[in-house]
Amino acid sequence: MARRRNAITHRFARMRGLPPSEKALMQRIGALLDSALNNRQSSNPFENARQITSRNIYPPTGILIKKGIRSVKIVWDAPPSNLLLRYEVTFDNLTTGERTVKSSFINEVTFKAPKGSYIARVVSIGRDR
């Protein structure tokens, strides 16, 4: 059986015996819980998001890398599409094999890590599920 989209908010709204300010606080907490459950991402511990690379979305172009002290900032040109949801940047450490995945909703990401050689991959993730 599927859970309603705002089930926790609805239950907290029906609570009795609370002052209006506490009831509003409980509704806000319920809304936060509902949004956390409904908008699951790969960083959300409940489940992994489905990784979708849409064929209707062009890959990012014009990638510019700026180096800092133990950090790197990657900036790219956003592809022209209204189906774009977010970007996913994968950093692979060539010496240890460690992989770090970062999500970005804007066309830049900053990565701080210990010394080593890294490879970065930028992928556009679409909203067509």
Question: Over the stretch 63-74, which tens digit does the pLDDT of each residue have?
Answer: 888 888 888 899
In order of their start, the domains of the chain are 7-38 (no CATH), 61-126 (2.60.40.10)
Q: In the numeric block, which tokens belong to residue 30?
A: 């319920």
Residues in the chain: 129
Measured in whole angstroms, the distance separating CA 49 from the mean position of its chain's CA atoms is 9
Q: Residues 116-122: what's their mean pLDDT?
A: 86
Tell me the DSSP string of the chain: -PPPTTHHHHHHHT--S--HHHHHHHHHHHHHHHHHHHS--TTSTT-PPP----TTSPPPEEEEEEEETTEEEEEEEPPS-SSEEEEEEEEEETTT--EEEEEESSSEEEEE--SS-EEEEEEEEES--
What is the pLDDT, as a whole number, of residue 50? 54
What is the pLDDT, as a whole number, of residue 129? 46
Question: Over the stretch 27-47, which tens digit does the pLDDT of each residue have?
Answer: 888 888 877 776 665 555 555
pTM over 0.85: no
Q: Is the pLDDT of residue 1 over 50?
A: no
